[in-house]
Structure 1
C-alpha cells in the first residue's frame, strides 16, 4: 500500500518538497496552500524596491541554478517568476490545492486527518509543513490606527491601486523592507517621512546588474555558475555566519564596514547621529544597501525619530506634538516570526495539541519534528539557521534529513517515527546555552526574539548544522512497530 503525503504551503520549501518526492517516485501527494497561488513570501510581497538580501546565485535550488538573473540581488518579481518556472518544469500543477487552508490536522488510527477551511478533508500518512516563517504581518499597536483617512496598508499587502506620485507618504518601520522602499519612492513622491524607532546597521552591498555577456557565460558554462553558487555560499559561511555566533574578529569587520558606510555617505552630522545604532551590528538582521543613505539625504525625504503618540485622520502625531500630515501610510512593521504553524490546530497522539506543547515556547527536535506527533515534520521550523544562511539551502538540508526518516516507514522498518521527549529536551537545553554566546542576545529588540527573550535561531556553525542533519540518530526517535 502506497503512503500519501500532504505538503502544507506552496512557497519555496513546499515546491522543493514536491520535487524531491516526485524524484523518488512518489506521486501520491497534495500541496495545500491557503492563498490563490504559489510563491509564499514572493507572492505576498510586491512593494516598490523589493529584492532579496541574499545573492541570487545562491538564493536558488542547488539542483536548479539560474544563469540569467538580472542583478546580484534580484527583484522580488523575478524571484517569484523563478519559482513559478521551476514548478512548471517539474510538472507540479496537478498537485496544488490553492485556496485550501488546512485548519486542523489530527493523528488518528495511525494516519493524519486533515480538515480544509472549505469543508473538504483528506487522510494522509505524512505531513510536511512548509508554511514559512514570515507570512503573518505584524501590525503596530498605535492608538488611532483606524482613524487615518488616507490609504493605509501593510507593506506585505501593498495596495497598487493607490497612487503615490506627488503625494505625502509615511513609512513606519526601519527594517529591510522600509530600507528598500525609501530609495524606490524618494524621487516619486512629494514627501516621504520615515518614522524610525531604532536605527539600523547598514552594510554597503552594491547591487550591480549582470551584463548580457555574463548571463551568456553562466548559461554556456554550468561550471562557472556552480562556482558562483559555491563562492557566495562560502562567503556567508566564512564571514557573517561566524560573526553572529561569537567570532569577534569577523563581527568587528562588519561593524567597521557599517560604520565607515555611515560616516562616508551621510554628510549631515545630525542626520548621521540619528542614523547611528546604539547596539552591536548583526544583533538585528543586518541591512544590506548602498542606496538607503543617499536616499535619506534627498530633499523629499525626512527622518523622524520622535516617538509616535497616535495616528489621526490627517497623519501621524509624534510625542513632540507635531502632526506629520500624510496622504498614504505604509506599515513596514514586519511579521510575527514565531507563529509558525498557527492558527492551524494540530492534534497528535493521545489528543496532545501542538498549541499546548508550545504554550511556553516553540521547541522542536533539530527544528524539524516534535515528540508525540508521528510522521509530522517541519521545514524551517523553530531555531532553524535562517539568520545565518540562504534559507533555500537550509530547506534542502532539512528535507533530506526528513526524507531519511520517512524512508524508515516507506521501507517497512516502522509504522511511524517521532523524536523522543528526552532527546528533544536535551537538544533545546544545549541550544539555549549556546545562544548565550551569540550576538542576538546583546541587548537589541528584534523579531528573532520570542516572548521569553530567546532568539529562535541556530547558535552553532554551518558545519555543525550540516553534520547534525547528515543522518538521523535513531536512538533519539521512537519507532512505532
Structure 2
C-alpha cells in the first residue's frame, strides 16, 4: 500500500497499517511529519479544538498544558506518535507524489525525484490545509518590507516595535492579532468580512490533573468523551438546522462576546451581517481585547493596492508597514492535487472533479478502484476533532482491505449509482444548513453548495461502521 502524506491522517494510516502487518510506504513531500502543524509556525498558533479530544484514540496524551494546545506542542505530539508507533521508517521524506495511474489492476506511483513504484492500494492522506491562498494585489512586488503568507512564516523577520499589517480575519488572523498587538508599534488588521467570535478561555491543567490522567486512563477518556459530546450535541447539531435552539445559543454567546467591544463604531464594524457558524467560527477569548488596544487599528476600507511603503486602501489612506502577513487561508478543494490521478479506463480525477470535488461517503470515487481518501471531499468539517473523523474513515477503509486480504475481490470502488444517490441526498440535506443562509466561505463550492457533510454526525458514524458492499463495484 501507498499512503500520500505524513500529516495527522498519514501518521494514523501508517500506525494502523503497520499494526496489521500491511506492507506500506508513506510518501511525504517535506522533511518531517506533521502536515499543517509542520507548515504553520506563526506566533500564537493553537488548535481551537480541546487538545484531549484532538488526539488519536490509541495515543491519548495526559501531558497537555492547556485546554487548547499550542501549535509546537501539537507538532511534538505527532512526531512522538510517529516515532513510538513505528511510522517514521515507513516514510519517504522529501519525495512528492506527482502522478498515480491505475494500470492492470494496480497503481503506478511516480514522484518528483523520479522514483517509480507499484501498489495494490493507495490512500490519500494529503489533507486540505497545505496549498496557501495568496491573493493577487496590484503592486505587491514593490513592497519594501517583509511580506509572506501565514503558513510560510519568515522567522528571520523581526517583529518587536515594528509596524505590522495582517490581511484576513479568520482563525489565523485572530490568533495573530492576539499575539502581535503586544509586540507591534502599530498593528493594522485589514478586514474584508467581519467574523463571529466564540469565546473559549484557554484554561491551564494543573500538575495534579495531569498526574490523575496519567495514572487513570479511564478518567482521561471520560474527559475526552465529555468534550466530544458537548461539541457534537452543540455545534455539530446546530449547523445542520438554521432554526435549531443550539444555533440560537451559539449566536447568543457570540453577540454577548461582541458586547465586550466598548467603542460603538468599532463594535459596529466588527459585527457580521450573516448568521453565526455560516462561516467557520473563530474561537478566541483574546481577539476583541487585542483589537481594542491603542496601537491596534481595524481597517475596513478595501485594499486598492500595495505600495513600497505599505498598503493603500480605497479611501486613499496609505497604511505604512514594515511587515505584511497574508492570513488568507488555503485552497481547500485541492486534496491530492496537483498530483495527476488517472483511474480505470483513463478516467482523470481532474476532469471528474472539474465542477467540484465529489466522493462517495467522502472516501472513494467511481472508476478509481482501490483509491481511498482520509479527509476527502465532503468529510465532516468544522470546530471538532478531525482526528476522530479520520479514524472512522480509516476503519471503513480497513474493512474493504480485509475483503481483499481474504481474496473476496482484488479491487473495489463505489458505483456511479451509489455516488449519484449520495451526492443528490447530500445536496438536498444542505438546504437546511446554516452554511447556505447568506455568506461566502470555504465551506461552499462554486455553486454555493456546502462542500461538507450535511447530515448528522451520528449518520456519519453509522455509515463508517461498515461498508454497504452493494454500493461497490468489486472485481
TM-score class normalised by the smaller sequence? over 0.9
Find the partner of 1:30 among 25, 28, 43.
25
Helix, strand or coil at the partner of 1:299: coil
Match of 1:311 among 302, 306, 311: 306
Deviation for aligned residue 1:455: 1.4
Paired residue for 1:256, among 242, 252, 267?
252
Match of 2:372 among 377, 385, 392: 377
1:212-264 Cα deviation digits (max 9, x unpaired): 1111111111111001110001011100001100052010100000001111x
Q: 2:167 aligns with which of 167, 172, 176?
A: 172
CA distance in 1, matches of 2:101, 2:119: 10
Match of 2:330 among 324, 329, 335: 335
**Partner residue of 1:206?**
201
- Matching residue of 2:292: 297
Quote the Cα distance in structure 2 between the aligned partners of 1:92 and 1:349. Answer: 30
**CA drift at 1:209:** 1.4
What residue in structure 1 maps to residue 433 of structure 2? 438
Aligned-pair distance for 1:141? 2.5
Q: Please say if residues 358 and 365 of structure 2, whose CA atoms lie closer than 8 Å, have aligned partners that are also in contact.
A: yes
Once the two structures are superposed, what CA deviation does each residue of 1:349-384 show, in whole Å capped at 9, x if it has no partner? 111111111111111110000000111000000000
Please give the alpha-carbon distance, in whole angstroms, between the structure 2 residues aligned to 1:468 and 1:459: 13
Find the counterpart in structure 1 of residue 96 from structure 2: 101
Q: How does 1:365-404 map to 2 (within 5 A)?
A: 365-387=360-382, 389-404=384-399
Distance 1:351 1:457 in 2: 27
SS for the counterpart of 1:469 is helix
8 Å CA contact retained: 2:49, 2:383: no
The CA distance in 1 between the partners of 2:7 and 2:105, in whole Å, is: 28
- Partner Cα distance (2:59, 2:9) in 1: 14
Are 2:124 and 2:374, in contact at CA under 8 Å, matched by a contact in 1?
A: yes
Q: How much has 1:388 moved relative to structure 2?
A: 5.2
What secondary structure does 2:223 align onto? helix
| Equivalent residues of 1:203, 1:288 under 8 A apart | yes
Distance 1:273 1:360 in 2: 38
Cα-Cα RMSD: 0.8
Cα distance in 2 for partners of 1:318, 1:459 equals: 38
1:30-61, CA deviations, whole angstroms, 9 ceiling, x for partnerless residues? 11001111000000000000000100010000
Residue aligning to 1:361: 356
- Whether the 8 Å CA contact 2:280–2:383 is kept in 1: the answer is no
| TM-superposed deviation, 1:417 | 0.5
CA offsets 1:418-439 (integer angstroms, 9 cap, x no match): 1100110100000011111100
Asked if 2 retains the 8 angstrom alpha-carbon contact of 1:197 and 1:307, the reply is yes
Report deviation, 1:269. 0.7
Q: Which whole-Å deviations, capped at 9, do the CAs of 1:262-317 have from their partners, x for residues lacking one?
A: 11x11111111111111000000001111001101111111001111111111000
Which segments of 5 or more consecutive residues in structure 1 lack a partner in the other structure? none
Please give the alpha-carbon distance, in whole angstroms, between the structure 1 residues aligned to 2:131 and 2:234.
30
Mapped contact 1:387–1:457 kept (Cα < 8 A): no
Residue matched to 2:3: 7
Matches of 1:88 and 1:217, distance apart in 2: 25
Cα 1:211–1:388 shift into 2, 3 Å: closer
- Aligned with 1:105: secondary structure? strand
Q: Indicate whether 1:410 and 2:441 are aligned.
A: no
Which of 263, 268, 273 does residue 278 from structure 1 map onto?
273
The TM-score, its normalising length taken from structure 2, stands at 0.99
Give the Cα separation in 2 of the matches to 1:256 and 1:224.
32
> How far 1:389 sits from its partner (Å)?
2.8
- What TM-score does the superposition give when structure 1 sets the normalisation length? 0.98
